[in-house]
Amino acid sequence: MTEVDDYGQQIFLQGMMSRKVLKYSEVNNLLETAMRKDADVQWSKDERQSLLLSIINKVNKAIKPFHLVIKKCVDEDNGTNFFMLASVTKRSRELMAAAFEFKKGELEYLELLATSILEEENKFVSSMKAMNCCSKVEGVRFTLHQADEAVAKFKREKWLKEVYDGKLALGIRFISEMEEWIKGQLGEDVERCLLCQKLVVRGCRCQNCRQLYHKYCGEKLAKLRGGSGAEAKFSCKNCSQPVACEIAVDATVEDRDRTPQSQRGASRRASDEGRVKESRKRVIIEDDSD
Protein backbone atom coordinates (compact mmCIF):
# COMPACT_ATOMS: atom_id res chain seq x y z
CA MET A 1 0.00 0.00 0.00
CA THR A 2 1.57 3.26 -1.05
CA GLU A 3 -1.31 5.61 -0.43
CA VAL A 4 -2.66 6.20 3.01
CA ASP A 5 -6.38 5.57 3.25
CA ASP A 6 -8.95 7.13 5.55
CA TYR A 7 -8.62 4.38 8.11
CA GLY A 8 -4.87 4.80 8.23
CA GLN A 9 -5.34 8.51 8.65
CA GLN A 10 -7.62 7.90 11.62
CA ILE A 11 -5.14 5.53 13.23
CA PHE A 12 -2.30 7.99 12.78
CA LEU A 13 -4.30 10.89 14.12
CA GLN A 14 -5.56 9.02 17.16
CA GLY A 15 -2.08 7.77 17.92
CA MET A 16 -0.76 11.32 17.85
CA MET A 17 -3.66 12.59 19.93
CA SER A 18 -3.04 9.99 22.56
CA ARG A 19 0.73 10.17 22.84
CA LYS A 20 0.92 13.97 22.59
CA VAL A 21 4.68 14.13 21.93
CA LEU A 22 6.34 11.39 19.89
CA LYS A 23 9.93 10.54 19.08
CA TYR A 24 10.94 9.55 15.58
CA SER A 25 10.92 5.84 16.42
CA GLU A 26 7.41 6.09 17.87
CA VAL A 27 6.18 7.96 14.83
CA ASN A 28 7.66 5.31 12.60
CA ASN A 29 5.89 2.56 14.51
CA LEU A 30 2.66 4.50 14.28
CA LEU A 31 3.22 4.94 10.57
CA GLU A 32 3.69 1.21 10.11
CA THR A 33 0.47 0.46 11.97
CA ALA A 34 -1.43 3.13 10.04
CA MET A 35 -0.22 1.71 6.75
CA ARG A 36 -0.91 -1.83 7.97
CA LYS A 37 2.58 -2.77 6.94
CA ASP A 38 3.51 -6.44 6.84
CA ALA A 39 6.31 -7.41 9.19
CA ASP A 40 8.43 -8.89 6.41
CA VAL A 41 8.21 -5.89 4.12
CA GLN A 42 11.21 -3.61 4.30
CA TRP A 43 10.90 0.07 3.60
CA SER A 44 13.87 2.02 2.35
CA LYS A 45 14.72 5.22 4.19
CA ASP A 46 13.39 7.29 1.31
CA GLU A 47 10.16 5.31 1.11
CA ARG A 48 9.65 5.75 4.82
CA GLN A 49 10.33 9.47 4.69
CA SER A 50 8.02 9.96 1.77
CA LEU A 51 5.21 7.95 3.37
CA LEU A 52 5.58 9.87 6.61
CA LEU A 53 5.46 13.16 4.78
CA SER A 54 2.42 12.14 2.79
CA ILE A 55 0.49 10.93 5.82
CA ILE A 56 1.31 14.05 7.79
CA ASN A 57 0.27 16.26 4.91
CA LYS A 58 -2.97 14.35 4.45
CA VAL A 59 -3.80 14.54 8.15
CA ASN A 60 -2.86 18.21 8.37
CA LYS A 61 -5.11 19.05 5.45
CA ALA A 62 -7.99 17.27 7.15
CA ILE A 63 -7.50 18.83 10.57
CA LYS A 64 -6.72 22.35 9.40
CA PRO A 65 -10.38 23.45 9.74
CA PHE A 66 -10.17 22.52 13.42
CA HIS A 67 -7.09 24.65 13.98
CA LEU A 68 -4.91 21.65 14.66
CA VAL A 69 -1.62 20.75 13.05
CA ILE A 70 0.99 18.03 13.32
CA LYS A 71 4.34 19.67 13.54
CA LYS A 72 7.92 18.66 14.04
CA CYS A 73 9.83 20.27 16.85
CA VAL A 74 13.43 19.95 17.92
CA ASP A 75 14.81 19.77 21.42
CA GLU A 76 17.04 22.79 22.02
CA ASP A 77 19.59 20.86 24.08
CA ASN A 78 20.16 17.62 22.25
CA GLY A 79 18.60 18.19 18.84
CA THR A 80 16.19 15.24 19.13
CA ASN A 81 13.26 15.46 16.75
CA PHE A 82 9.76 15.20 18.12
CA PHE A 83 6.39 15.24 16.49
CA MET A 84 3.32 16.63 18.14
CA LEU A 85 -0.26 17.57 17.53
CA ALA A 86 -0.62 21.24 18.40
CA SER A 87 -3.39 23.76 18.24
CA VAL A 88 -2.95 26.81 16.03
CA THR A 89 -5.58 29.05 17.40
CA LYS A 90 -5.86 31.09 20.51
CA ARG A 91 -8.20 29.11 22.71
CA SER A 92 -10.01 30.24 25.79
CA ARG A 93 -8.18 29.42 28.99
CA GLU A 94 -10.83 26.94 30.05
CA LEU A 95 -10.58 25.11 26.77
CA MET A 96 -6.78 25.15 26.94
CA ALA A 97 -6.72 23.80 30.48
CA ALA A 98 -9.24 21.12 29.50
CA ALA A 99 -7.39 20.21 26.31
CA PHE A 100 -4.10 19.86 28.18
CA GLU A 101 -5.79 17.97 31.01
CA PHE A 102 -4.62 20.39 33.66
CA LYS A 103 -6.13 20.44 37.09
CA LYS A 104 -7.29 23.64 38.72
CA GLY A 105 -4.50 26.15 39.02
CA GLU A 106 -1.99 24.16 36.99
CA LEU A 107 -2.24 26.28 33.85
CA GLU A 108 -1.74 29.47 35.86
CA TYR A 109 1.18 27.91 37.69
CA LEU A 110 2.79 26.77 34.46
CA GLU A 111 2.46 30.26 33.00
CA LEU A 112 3.94 31.77 36.17
CA LEU A 113 6.87 29.39 35.91
CA ALA A 114 7.34 30.16 32.24
CA THR A 115 7.22 33.91 32.89
CA SER A 116 9.80 33.47 35.60
CA ILE A 117 11.98 31.38 33.30
CA LEU A 118 11.79 33.87 30.46
CA GLU A 119 12.83 36.69 32.75
CA GLU A 120 16.16 35.01 33.32
CA GLU A 121 19.09 35.67 31.01
CA ASN A 122 19.87 31.96 30.86
CA LYS A 123 16.21 30.98 30.53
CA PHE A 124 16.13 28.56 33.44
CA VAL A 125 15.23 28.82 37.11
CA SER A 126 16.14 26.92 40.24
CA SER A 127 13.53 24.55 41.63
CA MET A 128 13.42 26.70 44.75
CA LYS A 129 12.28 29.67 42.75
CA ALA A 130 9.80 27.43 40.97
CA MET A 131 8.27 26.38 44.28
CA ASN A 132 7.99 29.98 45.41
CA CYS A 133 5.82 30.77 42.43
CA CYS A 134 3.01 28.66 43.79
CA SER A 135 1.95 31.38 46.17
CA LYS A 136 1.32 33.69 43.24
CA VAL A 137 -1.36 31.50 41.69
CA GLU A 138 -4.50 33.59 41.69
CA GLY A 139 -8.01 32.50 42.36
CA VAL A 140 -7.21 29.13 43.85
CA ARG A 141 -5.15 27.90 46.75
CA PHE A 142 -2.11 26.18 45.28
CA THR A 143 -0.05 24.41 47.90
CA LEU A 144 3.62 23.48 47.80
CA HIS A 145 2.58 19.86 47.52
CA GLN A 146 0.43 20.64 44.51
CA ALA A 147 3.29 22.63 43.02
CA ASP A 148 5.61 19.70 43.52
CA GLU A 149 3.20 17.32 41.79
CA ALA A 150 2.54 19.82 39.03
CA VAL A 151 6.24 20.25 38.27
CA ALA A 152 6.68 16.48 38.10
CA LYS A 153 3.74 16.33 35.69
CA PHE A 154 5.09 19.17 33.57
CA LYS A 155 8.42 17.40 33.29
CA ARG A 156 6.76 14.12 32.37
CA GLU A 157 4.61 15.72 29.71
CA LYS A 158 7.48 17.79 28.37
CA TRP A 159 6.09 21.21 29.23
CA LEU A 160 9.24 21.80 31.23
CA LYS A 161 12.58 20.08 31.29
CA GLU A 162 15.33 19.69 33.80
CA VAL A 163 18.71 21.12 32.89
CA TYR A 164 22.02 21.41 34.72
CA ASP A 165 21.09 19.26 37.68
CA GLY A 166 17.81 20.50 39.05
CA LYS A 167 17.13 23.70 37.12
CA LEU A 168 13.92 24.10 35.16
CA ALA A 169 13.79 25.28 31.57
CA LEU A 170 11.01 25.41 28.98
CA GLY A 171 10.26 22.00 27.53
CA ILE A 172 9.66 21.15 23.91
CA ARG A 173 5.90 21.02 24.28
CA PHE A 174 5.71 24.46 25.80
CA ILE A 175 7.90 26.04 23.15
CA SER A 176 5.82 24.40 20.44
CA GLU A 177 2.29 24.86 21.76
CA MET A 178 2.75 28.24 23.38
CA GLU A 179 4.94 29.92 20.79
CA GLU A 180 2.66 32.92 20.45
CA TRP A 181 2.44 33.29 24.20
CA ILE A 182 6.24 33.24 24.48
CA LYS A 183 6.55 35.89 21.78
CA GLY A 184 3.99 37.96 23.66
CA GLN A 185 5.95 37.67 26.88
CA LEU A 186 9.31 38.51 25.36
CA GLY A 187 8.03 41.31 23.17
CA GLU A 188 10.94 42.93 21.42
CA ASP A 189 13.36 40.72 23.35
CA VAL A 190 12.27 37.74 21.29
CA GLU A 191 15.21 36.16 19.50
CA ARG A 192 15.24 34.32 16.21
CA CYS A 193 17.89 31.90 15.06
CA LEU A 194 19.37 33.43 11.91
CA LEU A 195 19.94 29.98 10.45
CA CYS A 196 16.32 28.79 10.49
CA GLN A 197 14.42 32.01 11.23
CA LYS A 198 12.50 30.36 14.05
CA LEU A 199 12.13 31.34 17.71
CA VAL A 200 15.06 30.36 19.90
CA VAL A 201 14.85 30.33 23.69
CA ARG A 202 18.12 28.69 24.71
CA GLY A 203 20.97 28.44 22.25
CA CYS A 204 24.54 29.32 21.26
CA ARG A 205 25.39 32.97 21.46
CA CYS A 206 27.98 34.77 19.36
CA GLN A 207 30.36 36.39 21.84
CA ASN A 208 30.93 39.24 19.45
CA CYS A 209 27.53 40.45 18.34
CA ARG A 210 25.27 38.57 20.78
CA GLN A 211 23.24 36.88 18.03
CA LEU A 212 21.59 33.69 19.31
CA TYR A 213 21.37 30.42 17.35
CA HIS A 214 19.81 27.00 17.91
CA LYS A 215 22.48 24.55 18.97
CA TYR A 216 21.25 22.01 16.42
CA CYS A 217 21.30 24.59 13.61
CA GLY A 218 24.86 25.55 14.50
CA GLU A 219 25.98 21.94 14.71
CA LYS A 220 24.55 21.19 11.29
CA LEU A 221 26.48 24.11 9.81
CA ALA A 222 29.67 23.22 11.68
CA LYS A 223 29.44 19.65 10.40
CA LEU A 224 29.21 20.91 6.82
CA ARG A 225 32.43 22.79 7.34
CA GLY A 226 34.07 19.70 8.74
CA GLY A 227 33.93 20.37 12.46
CA SER A 228 32.27 18.11 15.04
CA GLY A 229 32.26 17.30 18.71
CA ALA A 230 32.91 19.70 21.55
CA GLU A 231 35.28 21.88 19.57
CA ALA A 232 32.85 22.44 16.72
CA LYS A 233 32.31 26.02 15.68
CA PHE A 234 30.44 27.78 12.90
CA SER A 235 30.61 31.30 11.51
CA CYS A 236 28.14 33.80 12.82
CA LYS A 237 25.90 34.81 9.93
CA ASN A 238 25.80 38.33 11.27
CA CYS A 239 29.43 39.18 11.98
CA SER A 240 31.35 36.11 10.68
CA GLN A 241 33.06 35.45 14.00
CA PRO A 242 33.31 31.80 15.14
CA VAL A 243 30.53 30.63 17.45
CA ALA A 244 30.91 27.57 19.70
CA CYS A 245 28.20 24.89 19.45
CA GLU A 246 27.22 24.92 23.05
CA ILE A 247 24.36 26.52 24.87
CA ALA A 248 25.59 29.70 26.47
CA VAL A 249 25.25 29.80 30.21
CA ASP A 250 26.34 32.90 31.99
CA ALA A 251 27.44 31.30 35.25
CA THR A 252 27.47 34.53 37.21
CA VAL A 253 23.90 35.28 36.35
CA GLU A 254 22.43 32.40 38.36
CA ASP A 255 19.58 33.41 40.62
CA ARG A 256 19.35 37.05 39.73
CA ASP A 257 17.88 38.26 42.98
CA ARG A 258 20.98 37.31 44.91
CA THR A 259 23.85 38.56 42.81
CA PRO A 260 24.31 42.28 43.45
CA GLN A 261 26.48 42.69 40.41
CA SER A 262 26.44 40.62 37.30
CA GLN A 263 29.10 40.83 34.68
CA ARG A 264 27.19 40.30 31.55
CA GLY A 265 30.03 40.88 29.15
CA ALA A 266 29.29 42.53 25.86
CA SER A 267 25.99 44.34 25.81
CA ARG A 268 22.99 42.73 24.21
CA ARG A 269 21.58 44.02 21.00
CA ALA A 270 18.42 44.99 22.83
CA SER A 271 17.52 48.64 22.62
CA ASP A 272 18.26 50.96 25.51
CA GLU A 273 14.60 51.18 26.25
CA GLY A 274 14.41 47.45 26.43
CA ARG A 275 17.35 47.43 28.79
CA VAL A 276 15.76 49.93 31.13
CA LYS A 277 12.56 47.94 31.02
CA GLU A 278 14.50 44.83 31.93
CA SER A 279 16.39 46.34 34.83
CA ARG A 280 13.18 47.66 36.27
CA LYS A 281 12.02 44.09 36.54
CA ARG A 282 14.96 43.24 38.69
CA VAL A 283 15.05 44.47 42.24
CA ILE A 284 18.75 45.20 42.25
CA ILE A 285 20.19 47.73 39.84
CA GLU A 286 23.12 46.31 37.96
CA ASP A 287 26.26 48.03 36.97
CA ASP A 288 26.68 47.48 33.27
CA SER A 289 30.30 47.47 32.41
CA ASP A 290 30.44 47.94 28.68
Question: Contact 253/262 with Cβ under 8 angstroms?
Answer: yes
User: Alpha-carbon distance 107 to 96, whole Å?
Assistant: 8
Q: How far is CA 229 from CA 74, 219, 222, in A?
A: 19, 9, 10
Q: What contacts 38, CB < 8 A, 6 or more positions away? A: none
Between residue 63 and residue 92, which ones bind other proteins under the rule CB under 8 A? 63, 65-67, 91
Q: How far is the CB of 106 from other proteins (least distance, A)?
A: 15
**CA separation for the pair 189, 269 (Å, rounded):** 9
Residue 239 lies near other proteins (rule: CB under 8 A)? no
Rounded distance, CA 198 to CA 179, Å?
10
Region near other proteins per CB under 8 A, out of 9-17, 74-82, 217-225, 248-256 = 9-17
Q: What is the largest CA-CA distance in the chain?
A: 67
CB of 59 to other proteins, least distance (A): 8
24 binds other proteins (CB under 8 A): no
Region from 1-9, 40-48, 209-217, 222-230 binding other proteins, contact rule CB under 8 A:
1-9
Q: Which of 15, 171, 203, 218 binds other proteins (CB under 8 A)?
A: 15
38 binds other proteins (CB under 8 A): no
Please tell me the count of residues contacting other proteins according to CB under 8 A.
25
To other proteins, the closest distance from the beta carbon of 92 in angstroms equals: 9
Of 94-102, 184-192, 239-247, 273-281, which segment contacts other proteins by CB under 8 A?
A: 94-102
Of 15 and 203, nearer to other proteins (C-beta) is 15
Per-position x/- string for 95-124, each x denoting binding to other proteins as judged by CB under 8 A, each - no binding: x--xx-x-----------------------
Does 19 bind other proteins (CB under 8 A)? Our answer is yes
Q: Which is nearer to other proteins, 6 or 257 (CB)?
A: 6
Q: Alpha-carbon distance 174 to 168, whole Å? A: 12
Contacting residue, 1, 3, 7, 240, with other proteins by CB under 8 A:
7
18 versus 49: smaller Cβ distance to other proteins: 18
Among residues 10, 80, 135, 252, which is the contact residue for other proteins, using CB under 8 A? 10
Q: Does 30 bind other proteins (CB under 8 A)?
A: yes
Closest-CA residue to 105 (of 158, 156, 155, 144): 144
β-sheet bridge partners, residue 271: none
Question: What single-letter amino acid sits at 32?
Answer: E
| Minimum CB distance to other proteins smaller for 17 or for 239 | 17
Please report, as ranges, the residues that interact with other proteins according to CB under 8 A: 6-7, 9-11, 13-15, 17-20, 29-30, 33, 62-63, 65-67, 91, 95, 98-99, 101
